[in-house]
Structures are given as C-alpha cells and as structure tokens.
Amino acid sequence: MRRFLTLVHKEWRDTRALSLVCALLVPLALLAAELGFLDWRGDFAGAYFVPGVIALYLAVIASDLVAADAATGRARSYAMLPVRPATLWSAKLAFLLVAGAAFTVWTLAVTTGLYAAFAPQDAIDLLGRELDHMRTTPLLAIAAVVAATVMWSTVLERGFAAVGAALVTCAALVGACMVVGSRNAELLPEEGVMRGAAYILPALFLAISCLTFVRGPVHASGTLRRLVLTAACLLAVFVPTGAVWAAVALERLHVEPGDPELRVQMHVVSSDGRFATLIAQKRHRDASYHVWTLNLETGQVVALPGRRWNFDWFDASWGDDGLVRLWTQDAGPIDDALRHEIDPATGRILRTRSYAQLRESHETPRRRWLQRQFGEDVDVNGVVHVWPVTEQGTRRSADARVIHHGRPNATWAYVSPGSGRYVSVMDSGSQTIYECATGMRIDTVGASRPRSVLHWPGGGSDDRFAIRYGEEPAMALVDLETGRETPVPGGRADLRILDDHRVLTHTESGEITLLDLTAGTSRVLYAPRRD
Amino acid sequence: MSSDDPVIEVDALHFSFGGYGRRGPLARLGRRDVLRGVDLSVPRGSVTALLGRNGEGKSTLLRLLTGFLSPAPGRVRVLGLDPARRAAAIRRRVGYVPDTQELPRWMRVADWFRFLEPFHPTWSRDEERALCSRLELDPQAKVSTLSKGQRAKHALVAALAHRPELLLLDEPFSGLDPIVRHEVLTAVLGHLRDEARTVVVISHSIADVERIADRVALLEGGRIRLSTDLESLQKSAVRLAVTLRDADAIWAPPGHPASERDGADVTLTYVDFHPAYEDALRTDPKVLGVARLSRDLEDVFRAATRIPEEVLPCAAS
C-alpha cells in the first residue's frame, strides 16, 4: 500500500500546479459568467457550468495521465520500478478518481457558496434541482469522455490528441444512436440498455487503456504501431458495442402475435362486431407500434405484416368498407394528421391521406417521409375530402354534461357517440372539446399554437355507458342513466362498448376479454404467451 | 539458487523490435531482429563488460534481463528468476543505471530517492548519504538542473543505495569528463569492494573496462561472439607486425588472425594465439621479419569482430 500511495502522490505532484490553477479559476470563471451574462439564474450554472468545468478539468488531467510520461521519456524511469505495470496504471487511475472527486466537491462548494451569497432564493432552488439532476446523465457522460480520454492518452501518447479522439469517439457513439433512432426508433436500445452501456463503456475504455499500458509501458510507440493500436482500439470499442446493439435490435424487431413483451395500447371493434383492431407496443419503451386484427369469434390474430409505426398519437376505426382506418399524428413541428386505410387481410396500406389543421394537405414534408416509410403503398394524391371541423365544429365544453364520480382526479371520459352525443369529465378545465359529425377535436389551452388531435370513436352506438378512467379501480363503466359504476376487473387498460351491451377489454399485457354486461359473463379471446 | 550458480543465464535468446504478434501475416511487418540467439553466463561476483558496436543490442539485452522487454523466444534467468514473469522481484534486487533517465522537473535529487525507497526494502539511507557525499551530489538540487555528470552520479546513487545483488550499468561513463568518470568509477569499485557483488557494464571505453572488468562479452550480429575472462584474453591475444619480402605477394598467415595490410607491412591480431603461429611466420620464405607489438585490447576487440566465430573463446571457456 505504501508503494501504491507513493505512486499516487507522484501523480499529484505531477499535476499539482495545474490542479491548483484550475481550482482557483472555478470561482473566477463562475463570477465572470454570472456577472457577465448569466445573471444568477441557476439553471445554466447547474446544468452546464458545473458539469462542464468538472469535465474540462478531468479531461485535461486524463489526457496527460499516460501521454505526459510517454512523451517526456519518464515512462521508462517508472517502468524500471519493481512493481507491475498494472500497479502503475492503477495508481494513475486512482489519482484521477480522487482528483475528480475532490475537484467536484470543490466546484460544487464554490458554486453553491457563491449562489448563497449573491443569488436569490429561487435561483438557489433551481441550481439545487439542476445539480441534483447532474448525479445521473451528466456524470455518466463525463465518465465516458474522461475514460475515453484515458484510453486515447495511452494509445496516442499525445495529450491534446487524446481529448480530441475521446470527443470524436463519444460523439460517434451518440451520433450513431441518433442516426439510427431517427431512421427507426425500434433500433434504439431501451433506456435500461442505454444506461447499462453508459456504465459499461467507461469500463471498456479503461480496460483497453490498462491492457495497452501493461503491454507497452516503456517505449513511446512509433507512428505505425500507434496507427495499428488506434485501429485495434476502435475495433475493440465499436465492434462489441455494435454487436450488442445489433443483438438487442434484432431481438426487438422480432415481434409476433402473442409476444409477452407486447403491450396492447388500444383496440377498436369493427362495425359488425366480428373483428377488432389491436394497436400494441413493446413493453417499457417508447418505440414503434404494431397493428393487428383479431377475430372476435375465433380469437385468431392476423398481423399486419412487416409494419412498425412511429407516431405520438393514434386512433383506429373500422370503415363501412371493411378497411381499418388508422389515424396517426406526431407532436413534432409538422403536426398534420394522417389517415391510413389498411386492408386487414394483407396488411397493405391502400391509401394514406394527410391533413394539416384538419384540412387536406398534399405538399408537406410528411409526404416525403411517408414515401420513405411506406414506399409503394402511399397514395397521398388520392381524392380525399376536407374535414369541415373548423367551420362547423361546435364548442361543447360549456354545455357538456359533467358526470361526477366522486373522484375529482378523474381526467376525462366519453361514450361512443353513435347519436353524436359526447360526455366529458373535465378535471383541470384546460382542454376545449369541439364536436363534429365525424370526429372530435381537442385544443389544449395555453399551447403555443393549436394542436389538433383527431379522435375517431370506433364501434358501438350505445351511449348508455361511460368509461371512467380512475386510479382504483383502474377502470369502471358508468351507467349514465343511474350513475351506477361497474368496475372492470383485472386492471384493464382500455375497453370499448359494443352495440349489444358487450364490452371488449384489454390489459396492458395484451389479454383481451369480452364482457357481457347483460349476462354477467366474460370470455378471454386472446392471451399472450407466458414465456 | 546456490552461490555457485551464475547470476545471469541466457540461452538462445532472440528479440525483435516491431512486428505485430509472434506469428501470423503481420509478424514480420516492421520487424527488426536485434538478438539472434544470445548465449551468456555471468558468474556471481564477476564484473562483466558487455562490448559491441552501437545498435548491436547491448542495452536491449540489459532491458531483457530486467524484464523491461519480453524475449521471443529464449531462456533468461536472472538471480534464478525469469524476468518475463518475476520482473518486479528481480528489480528489487538489481540496481540499474540506464543510459538516459528522465525525471519530473519538480523533483529534487532527494525526492527521487524518497520516491524509490518504498520500492526497495533494502534501501539504506546511510548508503545513500555516503554515496552522495563521495560523489559530491547535492540532495537538494533540482534534477532538472543537473549536469550530465551529476545525472550519472544521481542514477548511480539510486542504483546502489539499496545494495543490489546485481548491478547493471548501461554506459554510465559515456560523455563524462575525466574527473567525473574517475569519481563514478571509484564509486562502482567501492561498491564492488564492499561485498562480492555482480556487475554487468556496457561501455565503449576499453580503458574503463580494463580497469574494472574481469570478464568481457562481445555482442556482434545479434550473438555473443566472444565471452571470456579478461586475463585469459590478455594471454591469448597477440599482435604481430610482419614485413613481407614482396609488397605484391599473395600471402596467407597461419591460424585465423585479423590482419591489416599496407603493402609489405601486415599487422596480425590473434585472439587465439599459439606460439607455433609465430614459428611458422619466422620460417615463412615470404616473410622478411616478425615483431611483437604491444597488446591493445581495443585492437583485440576490433579484431574479434572480424575473425571466424569458431576460433573465439566461448562462454564455456
């Protein structure tokens, strides 16, 4: 231990001057930034200044951790010590950890101290919240960059180049995620995998650094050897990362009916009551949706083959022509809605129509996106009609009959409006509901611009029952005549009321049950596999 | 390890710089073979001078002995240990003075000693102080301000203060002025006088070698061409000046000397001299006269690089 501490102390002496200068610069830089342009707001300091300063300091120290000794020839002197190279490397890493922890504490103390002295209370609170958030993602990002810097410092033996290479490496990894995610969100690893990678990648960088150091602690490498080592390191980082990623993505892309990971988000019953459209999503992630049809008589599930959908809002209905109508809309800057007409037998998209602010729009970027996504299935130039919601819609929030369940936290509910009747239960009053003959529009008050959300209630014309979404029990049917509630058992996620007082329900796990309110019976139509 | 065992044993040692892996298509890429089957045995208590031209691999051999580098293939034992596996244990018992040594600029002379002390359980501060005093080395001087001679002294103190069983010196006298050279030599000799320790020294100064070494080994072409004790070498090495009757005559001397001819004057240097050679020369009708020259070890070593390897004294001798 004494030898190890001696080595750690040597590292401290090597960087003492730099560390002290950096420590002194922290309060000066913060004061200059706050007095100059930040004006003691708290958010910037907590979100960017503190993590940035810590990352900068650690990157500077890490960049010279190995490179400085190699470049000055001191590595040969240290390599002659009667200790294993792994011990030398471990001492360097231990110093980096200790120095990083100490500098982090110092930076936090300086920042909070200065804020306590000069900033208003709300800025201090904001700073505290931002610093609290720093415990997760920013620290992991700093760890990854610093570990990559250590790796490249060992391989390239040049401090400045090590920082640059580390930034490029991390940016390449993140950029690859972003590019792949923009093309197909399904390929992005789940949050847990991403978080695991954030822990594993620094360990991988450090392992490569250790291996390189142990194998060549003495000589400064030649250009050719550095090139080969660089290529080997890149392979060591990107090949396993890509392999794990590919394995995860392939596993996720493999979706079939009955997959226990599928979470049914919605089902819509056809007008004849024989089929239901299911919209499902992989559990625990914000990924693509899968659309299926279910034969209510036989329980047979027909997948829409090869389809994965990416949208923020969706709804489905059955048309009189026996086609499934899938309504989708993204919350992005292009917020036109899309209506896809899908043949349930083949899964082919027969026609896609685009609406901007509930009006048909032929020329939108969405069109090009659609062409990429759906290829030959797209027919955005087909004859479509314009929804007259804006002109003919009637504001109904004022005269909507409010049903009190005794549960003030309920959000809102509706009955399927075969007769055109809507009932809403408003909690916050922040939404305005417009009604029209064929749909409903909801505008969120206070939004920077109106965001149209199409709702196409599917199946059923009975308006006797309302669906109440609550906390416990999770869901209940409300008899609008008597006000009596009928709890829907089993933690159902959603239900639809059919014409004949039957209720089709589904759970998040995908189990679909048909309840007969008159007979008081229930029948499980579809259940996912239990792996 | 018994006291009679050699301190250093090297068998068929090979080493190459560069190359990527020991086998495979990239193994020869950029590879430079340095050692091609070195055999060497260094007895305990001896002072062995390792000689050879620049770039022959003398420093590389010392680094292999200390586990700095890994041989491929070959067998090396230092103090009975394998440097490739027990490098740390060997370095604890070995003092090594490299040809150059870079240290942090913030360090003072004593800082480096304090830094080294925990790594060597046998470190003696008394020895350290005595050596510093003998070599007139200021412990408070910054290492960045030391002259070349002072650096050599500094490295020597660091190598000797833990009383190593084996001292490896890589050109410790190179570039030193005569006074500093004398001081360093005296320190090394003092170290040898105190206890029967083993030293391997690389030097290009034959005078220094003659002063401290009792064995010599000549590294040439990646192999040890000559390995013998200095006394035997001095006995078996003879230089003769031969005058031929005809400056243009084709003539071959007896034995396998290294010869330098300038017309009728020929200088022969025998490493494996036998009196019969001199008799043969004196009775040779082409030879006008034969005279013995003073023995100059430098010429002997230069000759040893030119004569057939089989006539050279080997390690076993």
Q: Please count the other Cβ atoms lying within 10 Å of the Cβ belonging to residue A162.
A: 26
Write the secondary structure of A263-328 as one string of H (helix), E (strand) and C (coil): EEEEEEECCCCCEEEEEEEECCCCCCEEEEEEECCCCCEEECCCCCECCCEEEEEECCCCCEEEEE
In a mutational test of the B interface, the residue from A8, A16, A69, A80 whose CB has the highest number of chain B CBs within 10 Å is A80
pLDDT of residue A112: 87
B68 in contact with A, Cβ within 8 Å: yes
Question: Sign of the CA dihedral B106, B109, B112, B117?
Answer: negative
The residues, ordered by sequence, that sit 6+ positions from A257 with a Cβ below 8 Å of its Cβ are: A292, A301, A303
Angle at which helices A137-156 and A159-183 cross, to 10°: 130
In angstroms, the Cα distances linking B261 to A327, A373, B245, B266, B269 are 104, 90, 13, 4, 12
Looking at the DSSP bridge assignments, the partners of residue B47 are B199
The three-state secondary structure class of A465 is strand
User: What percentage of chain A reaches a pLDDT higher than 70?
Assistant: 52
Instruction: Give the pLDDT band (50/70/90) at residue A436.
Output: very low
What SS3 state is found at A36? helix
Q: Cα(B286)–Cα(A460) distance, rounded to whole angstroms?
A: 131
- Model confidence at B21, in pLDDT bands (50, 70, 90)? low
The pTM of this model reads 0.63
pLDDT digits (tens, 9 = 90+) for A43-65: 777 888 888 888 889 888 888 77
Element of type H or E holding A523: strand A521-526
Which three-class secondary structure string do you get for B53-108? CCCCCHHHHHHHHCCCCCCCCCEEEECCECCCCCHHHHHHHEEEECCCCCCCCCCE
- CA–CA gap between residue B201 and residue A529 (Å, rounded): 78
- By CA distance, what is A68's nearest residue in B? B104
| Residue A144 scores a pLDDT above 50 | yes
Give me the mean pLDDT over the A474-499 stretch.
61
pLDDT at A393 over 50: no
For residue B12, give the 3-state DSSP assignment: strand
- pLDDT grade for B28, boundaries at 50, 70 and 90: low
Search chain A and give the residue with CA nearest B88: A82
Q: Which of A98-112, A142-156, A323-337, A353-367 has the highest mean pLDDT?
A: A98-112
Kind and range of the H or E run holding B9: strand B8-17
CA angle (B53, B59, B65) in 5-degree steps: 135
pLDDT digits (tens, 9 = 90+) for B266-278: 888 887 778 888 8
| Rounded distance between C-alpha atoms, residue A123 and residue A113, angstroms | 13
Q: What DSSP string runs through B233-285?
A: HHHH-EEEEEEES-TT-----SSS-EEEEETTEEEEEESS--HHHHHHHHH-T
pLDDT of residue A24: 92
User: What local confidence, expressed as pLDDT, does residue A98 receive?
Assistant: 92
Across the range B299-303, mean pLDDT stands at: 73
Q: Does A178 touch chain B (CB under 8 A)?
A: no
Q: How far is A220 from chain B (nearest CA, A)?
A: 12
How far away is chain A from the Cα of B156, in angstroms, using its nearest Cα? 14
* A495 touches A454 (CB < 8 A): no
For residues A386 and A360, the answer to whether their CB atoms sit within 8 Å is yes
The upper half-sphere exposure of residue B39, i.e. CA atoms within 13 Å in the direction of its Cβ, equals: 10
Residue A224 contacts B where some CB pair is shorter than 8 Å: yes
> What SS3 class is residue A432?
strand
Pairwise pLDDT comparison (B141 vs B256), residue with the higher score:
B141
- What's the pLDDT band for A506 if we cut at 50, 70, 90? low
Contacts of B92 in chain A (CB under 8 A): 82
Percentage of residues in chain B having pLDDT higher than 90? 0
Q: Where are any strands of DSSP class E within A365-430?
A: 394-395
Please say if the pLDDT value at position A29 is more than 80: yes
Question: Is residue B44 over pLDDT 80?
Answer: yes
Determine the pLDDT at residue A347: 65
Predicted local distance difference test score (pLDDT) of residue A376: 29
Across the interface, of A72, A80, A222, the residue whose CB is closest to B96 is: A80
**CB-count burial class (<10 Å; 0-12, 13-18, 19+) for B195:** exposed
Give the pLDDT of residue A103: 92
- pLDDT tens-digit readout, A275-318: 777 777 765 555 567 777 777 777 677 666 545 566 666 667 67
Tokens of A19: 């560390």
A285 compared with A410, residue with greater pLDDT: A285
Amino acid at A383: V
Lowest mean pLDDT among A252-261, B42-51, B167-176: A252-261
A483 pLDDT higher than 60 = no
Q: Are strands B94-97 and B32-42 parallel, antiparallel or unpaired?
A: unpaired
What letter represents residue A26's amino acid? V
User: Hey, is the C-beta of B98 within 8 angstroms of any chain A C-beta?
Assistant: yes
pLDDT at B5: 77
Which SS3 state, helix, strand or coil, does residue B201 take? strand
At residue B172, φ and ψ (nearest 5 deg) are -70, -20
More confident residue, A121 or A472: A121
By Cβ distance, the residue of B98, B115, B119 closest to A82 is: B119
Backbone angles phi, psi at A34, to 5 degrees: -70, -45
Beta-strand ranges (E) seen in A343-463 are 349-356, 359-360, 394-395, 431-435, 440-444, 454-455
Please determine, for residue A102, whether its predicted confidence score (pLDDT) is greater than 90. Answer: yes
The yes-or-no verdict on residue A461 having pLDDT over 70 is: no
Please choose, from the candidates A336, A313, A321, A328, the residue with its C-alpha nearest in 3D space to the C-alpha of residue A374.
Answer: A328
Question: What value does the mean pLDDT of chain B take?
Answer: 80
Q: What is d(CA A249, CA A186) in angstroms, rounded to the nearest whole number?
A: 7
Which stretch, A141-145, A327-331, A462-466, A475-479, has highest mean pLDDT? A141-145
User: A336-350, A458-472, A500-514, B52-66: lowest mean pLDDT where?
Assistant: A458-472
